[in-house]
Amino acid sequence: MGFDGRIALVTGAAGGIGGAIATAMAGLGARVAVADVDGDGAARLAGGIGGLAVPMDVRDEESVRAGFARATAELGPVDVVVHAAGVVGGGGPLLTIPVDALDTVLAVNVRGTFLVTRAAAEAMSGRGGAIVHISSAGAVQPTVGLGHYEASKAAVNALTRSAALEFAPLGVRVNAVAPGPVETPLTAAALASPEARAFWTERIPLGRVATTADLVPAVLLLASPDSAHITGTVLPIDGGQLLKG
C-alpha cells in the first residue's frame, strides 16, 4: 500500500482506533507521529512502535499547529493524517442532557476536525496527501441518548466533503470511515452489560460489534496511494447496521 518511508500523523493515537491504525502503519514502514491530548498514552504507544509522541489538544489551534510543526521537523513532511481523536461526552435524552455535553463534543469532534484538517492541508499543500476522518454511523442513524454526539459526527461528514472539494486542487484527498460500535476504551462502559451488548448486536446484521482490526484495512486503503481517485467519501464499516434504518 505504499506506506514504507511515508510520514503519518495520527490523532487520538493513544486510544483504541487511533492506536490500532498507528500501529498498523508503523508495521508497514511508515514513520508515525502519535498525537494525543493524553501525553503519557501517546508516549507509551510511540515507544512501542518506534514513533514520535506528539502531545496535541485538537481543540486548540496553537497546539495543533505546534504538533504538526514538531512532526514535520522531526520526521519530515506529513503525507498522511488519520484523525481519530474524539469523545462522546456522556449521553442522555435531548430534553435533559446538559448543554455542556454538547459543547464538549462540538469542541473536540467538530472544532478539532476543522483545525486538524486545515493544518493537515497546509502541511501537505504542494506535495499532496491523504486525510482520513473517523466519523460514525450515528451521523446518519439516530440512537436515543446520543443526539449531541450524532450532531457532531454529521458535522464531521460535512467537513469531509467540504474539505475534499476545497483541497482537491492541492492534491489532498479527504475521506472518512463511519463505524458502528467498536470495542475500545470509549465503549467499554456502554458495552459492559449483557443487555447493552445485546441491544447493539441485534442492530447489526453481521451479528457482532466491530473490533479495531475490522477498521484498519479500510482506513489504510483510504490513506494510501491505492485510493488515488477516491475523495469525499464516507465509508460505513458497521456490519450492515445502516441497512436496518
Ligand X SMILES: NC(=O)c1ccc[n+]([C@@H]2O[C@H](COP(=O)([O-])OP(=O)(O)OC[C@H]3O[C@@H](n4cnc5c(N)ncnc54)[C@H](O)[C@@H]3O)[C@@H](O)[C@H]2O)c1
Among 7, 9, 16, 119, binds ligand X (CB under 6 A): 16
Q: Edge-to-edge, what's the strand order for the sheet holding 172-179?
A: 52-55, 31-36, 7-11, 80-83, 129-134, 172-179, 234-237
Q: Of the candidates 7, 17, 151, 223, which one interacts with ligand X according to CB under 6 A?
A: 17
Site for ligand X in 203-242 (CB under 6 A): none
Report CA-CA distances (Å) from 27 to 21, 24, 51, 148.
10, 5, 11, 36
Beta-bridged to residue 10, according to DSSP, are 34, 82
How near is the Cβ of 239 to ligand X at its closest, in Å?
Answer: 12
Instruction: Show the cell assigned to 93.
Output: 435524552
Closest separation between CB of residue 147 and ligand X, Å? 14
Catalytic residue at 149? yes
Q: Which is nearer to ligand X, 38 or 166 (CB)?
A: 38
Identity (one letter) of the amino acid at 202? E
Does 12 interact with ligand X (rule: CB under 6 A)?
yes
Would you count residue 126 as binding ligand X (CB under 6 A)?
A: no
Torsion of CA 37, 68, 72, 168, to 10 degrees: 130
Report the C-alpha gap between 106 and 155 in whole angstroms.
9
Name which of residues 78 to 107 contact ligand X (CB under 6 A).
84-87
Instruction: Determine contact, residues 179/218, Cβ cutoff 8 Å.
Output: no
Q: Which of 149, 167, 176, 234 is catalytic?
A: 149
CA 239, 97, 103, 16 torsion-angle sign: negative
Tell me how far, at minimum, the Cβ of 182 lies from ligand X, in Å: 4
Smallest distance from ligand X to CB 184, Å: 3
Q: In the complex with ligand X, which residue's Cβ is closer, 108 or 204? A: 108
Min. distance of Cβ 214 from ligand X in angstroms?
11
Instruction: Give the nearer residue to ligand X in terms of CB position, either 87 or 132.
Output: 87
Longest dimension (CA), the chain: 51
Where in 174-193 is the site for ligand X (CB under 6 A)?
A: 179, 181-182, 184-187
Q: Does 45 bind ligand X (CB under 6 A)?
A: no
**The one among 9, 37, 45, 120 contacting ligand X by CB under 6 A:** 37
| Cα dihedral 64, 101, 198, 203 in deg (nearest 10) | -70
Instruction: By CB under 6 A, name the one of 8, 9, 43, 56 that touches ligand X.
Output: 56
| Neighbouring-strand partners of residue 176 | 133, 234
Which residues are near ligand X by CB under 6 A?
11-12, 14-18, 36-38, 41, 56-59, 84-87, 108, 112, 134, 136, 179, 181-182, 184-187
Active-site residues, by number, are: 149
